Copies of this chain bind each other. A is one copy, B any other.
Amino acid sequence: MSDPSELLPSWRPGDVRTTLLTFLDRAERLPVERRLAVFDNDGTLWCERPTYVQFEFFVDALRQAARRDPTLADREEFAAVLDADLVAMGEIGLERLAMALAELFSGETPEEFAGRVRAFFGHARHGDLDVEFTATTYAPMLELLDELTRREFTIAIVTGGGTEFVRAISSSLYGIAPELVVGTLIAYDVDRDGAGEIVVRRTARIDGPGNEGIAKVLAIQSSLGRRPVLAAGNSFGDREMLEWTCSGDDPGLALLIDHDDDDREYRYASTAETSAGHESITAVGRRLGWCVVSMARDWTRAVGARRP
């Protein structure tokens, strides 16, 4: 079809690029309904350092709320965030902080919440990289999404982040429709208002576990109804999803993003205790035969590229 040397222009020639192109060609022999690709979001499609973009959004919302109601600062979780007290935040833990911050949006309709998310992206910027957050997406990964779309793949985002947060921007940022975003979902309440009309509102409650690890496998089967043939991730939260993708009847590809590019992004690795001792996810990926993508070596550019 097209000249392979023109495909994925931001991927440097080498084993990784060859593996990807070989997979793409093989996948065209699969029936279209089996061409499902799933992508983690934070650290896989866009930058997750120094903090998650969603956390920045929460902090921004808290600052606005505290200007209207200074007593919010009396709450331990909010005080730690407003003071940017990293020690206190570390003691409280990200999960408790996130659940407290989610209360700021309790009672909002989904449309109101999505409006706030989009407003945030209109004014907020990534401090270190000095770009809008929408420009912290990885150009090579956007090229891959485009190539998969061209080959009639269904593409889903499977994130530990908030489903509604990602849905508010997934169409404009990645061309991915809301029903193809599977994340950690804040539960909704539904009621009739004074006029008898049905109204859906956010709670501050999560139904079930956060969408990490084995939960991602269950979420994919439950929400998308089939095993993917391509999965991309960058942390231990993606491990089971990547393993499951490789153990089906169809030839599956697990793509692991290795954050080894200190010049253009950040150098870090997700680590955990495994059967082989204390390992980085990159070591696990090499051990299991995944396609490990070195951001420094395999990409000609990283962040800063917005989809045209």
A residues lining the B interface (CB < 8 Å): 33, 110, 154, 156, 163-164, 167, 171, 177-181, 185, 188, 190, 197-198, 200, 214, 217-218, 221-227, 240, 243-244, 247
Contact = CB atoms under 8 A, between A and B. Distances in A.
Given A181-B225, A225-B178, A217 B243 contact: no
Contacts of A180: 179
**Interface residues of chain A: helix, strand, loop or mixed (majority):** helix
Copies of the chain in the assembly: 2
Q: Which 4 interchain pairs have the tightest Cβ spacing?
A: A178-B225, A198-B244, A197-B247, A179-B224
A179 B200 contact: no
Contacts of A177: 33, 154
Contact of A198 (B179, B222, B247): B247
Contacts of A227: 200
Given A177-B33, A180-B179, A190-B217, A185 B222 contact: yes
Contacts of A185: 222
Given A110-B226, A226-B110, A200 B221 contact: yes
A193 to B, nearest CB: 9
Contacts of A156: 179
B171 A190 contact: no
Contact of A221 (B110, B225, B243, B244): B110
Contacts of A240: 190, 198
A115 to B, nearest CB: 12
Contacts of A244: 198, 200
